[in-house]
Each structure stands twice: as structure tokens, then as C-alpha cells.
Structure 1
Amino acid sequence: MKKLTPSQRADLEHKLKHPKDYSERNRLCVILGYDEGISTKNLAKALRISPITVQEYLREYDSENKTGSSPRGGSKSKLSQDQTESLLKHLQEKT
């Protein structure tokens, strides 16, 4: 991973103050810690994650600027479009 610019570092530090979840916080800590010269082994030990995960976080940031988790797919709706609209209308009226 290449060295962070001052603006990249400031952006990541800002995100670290209000992470979306613990996974994003871990990713930000890995990126910032590695940039400060902390080894991947020590980062993994401190964050209680595997060294492979640390390397993956660094690779994903380097290639995609990724700091958060990927969205999860979920399952396909079992309701038709009409049923979904009817349910939403009912919920809006009753709640």
C-alpha cells in the first residue's frame, strides 16, 4: 500500500470518529495503523483479527478505496408487487 496523502489521512481520521459499524472501524484502524508503520502482524493481534484479514483490508483499500463492508444481498421477496403495495398501505394506515 502506498503512503497516504495528508488529505486522505484527514478523511480517514474523520470517518474513524463516526464509523458505520465495527467492521468499518477495524478497516480504518488497519489502514491508518499500517500507514503509521505498524506491521500487519501487530495490527491483527491488536484488533483480534487474522493477518489475512488485515492484508485483505489493505488490498481492498489500495485497489478500491474501500473502507466499509460490502452490502449484503438478502433474499428475494415472496410478495408480488401488488401485495407489497397493499401491505405498505395497510401499515401506513394502521400504524
Structure 2
Amino acid sequence: MSHVIKSTISTVTDRPEKKLNRLMRRFEVGDRVQIDIPDKDDLDHERLHSRHGTIVEIFEDDAGQETGDPRDSHLFSVKIDDDSVEYLRWRDLRPVSDREDS
């Protein structure tokens, strides 16, 4: 299942108080990613698993406070190669190597 948690969302900016949160992020805007949802029972597995895209925006919310994992406080807007946009957490993404992206 996609890890969506209702929370207050704000766009990540370069304000100094956000520096620690930026360091906790695994991805940045412009990064190429592959969606990795290995659980075949997850509703998004068939539709999204193994698709490639580019991170176009990063939002911050309070999901990390709810889960106890600060990495969950980042919601990544990913433009999929078919031009659709999906909103995903770090655990559903992995970097794409140059070899995989060809």
C-alpha cells in the first residue's frame, strides 16, 4: 500500500531552519527515480511498480512525527515518463542508474 498519511503539507524551501530536513531527504528535485512497490497486494503495485520518473517538487509535512521516522516528512511529486504525476514517500522510490534509464 502506498504510504499516505493525512497531514499538513508545505513546499520545501531553502529557509535555514529546513537545513536538517533537507539533509534527511534521499532525493532532490531533478533526480531520476524508479518506483519500487514490491508488495503485489499494494493497490498501486500493478499501476506504478518499476515505472520511471523525475522528482519535480518536494513537500514537507508532519508525517514523520506520526511515524517516528523523519524521512516520512517528505512527499515527493514525481512526473512519470508518461507525463502523469504521482505523490510518493521515500520508501516507494529508488535512484535510477544511467543503465536502467536508457
**Normalised by the size of structure 2, how large is the TM-score?**
0.23
Task: Indicate the structure with greater strand content.
Answer: 2
Task: Indicate the structure with greater helix content.
Answer: 1
Q: Which has the higher contact order (CA 8 A, sep 6+)?
A: 2
**Normalised by the size of structure 1, how large is the TM-score?**
0.24
